[in-house]
Structure 1
Amino acid sequence: MEISKVTFRQHTQNTQPASMLKSNNNFAQVLADYQPAISNKDQVTPSNAETYVMNTNQGKQNIVLDDYLTPGPQSSSVNINDIPLLLPTAHNIDTLSKYTQEQFKDLLSQYNISTPPKTIEFDTEGQLVLPADYPYTAQLKHALSENPNVENALRTTAALASHYAGIMEGQPFRDEMSTARSQADRDRIVEKYSYLFDDDRPAKQIILTFLGDGNLLLTEKKQTA
């Protein structure tokens, strides 16, 4: 699995997004909005299930992604504080991208879909968006409807990568502020990166791009004027 156009550099700050990013007013809720609502106590995990070490808001945890990404009925309301939410870190994105790639390839094979779409993205409502000229739209949507865990994997990968790209856009600002020696230095740095504070600045959006063999690339969507 290759990652194109988006450089994922691991920083100690990766698990704590910058407060200046406008999408992070309530970071736990932001994460919960695009991650499946599961309750660990309701999950019965087979002893041979494959687990992945993931960075979560509750520290590093062994997560069974097959279970984590499979939606299920909830007998009661779920407190997001009880759910290990995947954080937008380089490790998580790399792990989840590889997992998603294999799941998607298996889905295409299972439903005899010979060609993957060139891209997959999700709109502001979290709905799947495929290229208008993709010839297997109906078949793929049917396959995903019968395998919601695969669509959740795609959605979560795109969302985590988009948040990470936004966080890393502000990394130079944080690096320079950490070494500022005076208020004049801090004022100069704030002015230099003032565009980061613009409420109208479009959020970073990562789309899933697929090669002919189904290999997954993460690419940044170009913003239209």
Structure 2
Amino acid sequence: MQPASLWSAAVSAISSRTAAPRTESAAAASIAASANLADRSSISQSARDLLAAETTAAASPVSSSVVFDTNQGAVTLDIDAYFQPPAGGFTELPPLMMPSASNIKALTDHVSARMPDFLARNGIPEAPASVSYDRYGELQLPADYPYAQEFKAALADDPALARSMQTAAALSSVHVEMQKSIPFHEEYSAASSAADAAKVVAKYAWLFADNRPSASITLNFSADGKLTVSADGEAISWPAA
């Protein structure tokens, strides 16, 4: 590594100067000592610069800008910045993400990319097999996940990742429920008479029931953090971005 070679060179230089003949003049000794100090200062600064660069790189989260479907049309958003509100609050409301397949795919890809570093930084050996949210939006982890406390605490310190996960689940839920209504709309639009339309409404009456249960959405993680989404236990496939 570069720092090691620089320090080796410094040690060699110091040794050679230390072994210089004692007949050396006071001026020459002073010059040698000054050069030695300059070398050490330069090396020390180089080491500090290298350490700072490595620390910055390690601390920088995976971040990506993606075009999202929003209530303001197609908008390019940086996901981490979007889910990390500024300290002073928003001066205006940000675009609202729509429950489109491409938006959910972008969020799941982002969480998959961020999770390995998140686990490593927080000393968590593996991701939970699944994550879900109750009716109040509270995180639910498997009862046998041994790092539940550490995982929840780490997420509390990383609100951008926590919100990315929760939004992926929320948009997936809305998307799945919307897909259920597509056959109704197609058949209703194709009805050629009021009687046919009434039959379609009766056929899909369950869609309009107040107590109709929505699909159970689960975020599934591989041990290394790759995210997939399932609805009522069945994997959901999203089109390529």
CA contact (8 A) 2:64 2:110 kept: no
State whether structure 2 residue 238 is matched by structure 1 residue 217: no
State whether structure 2 residue 77 is matched by structure 1 residue 63: yes
Corresponding residue to 2:182 among 171, 175, 198? 171
State whether structure 2 residue 68 is matched by structure 1 residue 54: yes
CA contact (8 A) 1:120 1:130 kept: yes
Q: Distance in 2 between matches of 1:196 and 1:110?
A: 45
> What is aligned with 1:116?
127
Corresponding residue to 1:106 among 101, 117, 121? 117
> What is aligned with 1:135?
146
SS at match of 2:84: coil
Q: Distance in 2 between matches of 1:221 and 1:130?
A: 16
Give deviations 1:45-86, integer Å, cap 9, x for gaps: xxxx7311000000000111110011344457x76xx43000
Offset at residue 125 of structure 1 (A): 1.6
Percent identity between matched residues is 35
Give deviations 1:24-53, integer Å, cap 9, x for gaps: xxxxxxxxxxxxxxxxxxxxxxxxx73110
Unaligned runs of 5+ in 1: 1-48
Q: Distance in 2 between matches of 1:73 and 1:204?
A: 36
Q: Distance in 1 between matches of 2:130 and 2:85?
A: 24
Q: Distance in 2 between matches of 1:71 and 1:83?
A: 10
State whether structure 2 residue 163 is matched by structure 1 residue 149: no
Give deviations 1:119-156, integer Å, cap 9, x for gaps: 11111221111111110011111211111111011100
> What is aligned with 1:29?
none
SS at match of 1:62: strand
Which letter does structure 2 place at the counterpart of 1:133?
D
Unaligned runs of 5+ in 2: 1-62, 234-241
Which stretches of structure 1, 4 residues or longer, exceed 6 Å deviation after superposition?
none
CA RMSD of aligned residues (A): 1.8
Offset at residue 189 of structure 1 (A): 0.6
SS at match of 1:170: helix
Q: Distance in 1 between matches of 2:89 and 2:151?
A: 30
Q: Distance in 2 between matches of 1:100 and 1:75?
A: 24
Q: Which moved further from structure 2: 67-76 or 156-165?
A: 67-76
> What is aligned with 1:3?
none
State whether structure 2 residue 201 is matched by structure 1 residue 199: no
Q: Distance in 1 between matches of 2:102 and 2:115?
A: 20
Q: Distance in 2 between matches of 1:191 and 1:175?
A: 15
State the TM-score, normalized to the length of structure 1: 0.71
State whether structure 2 residue 83 is matched by structure 1 residue 83: no
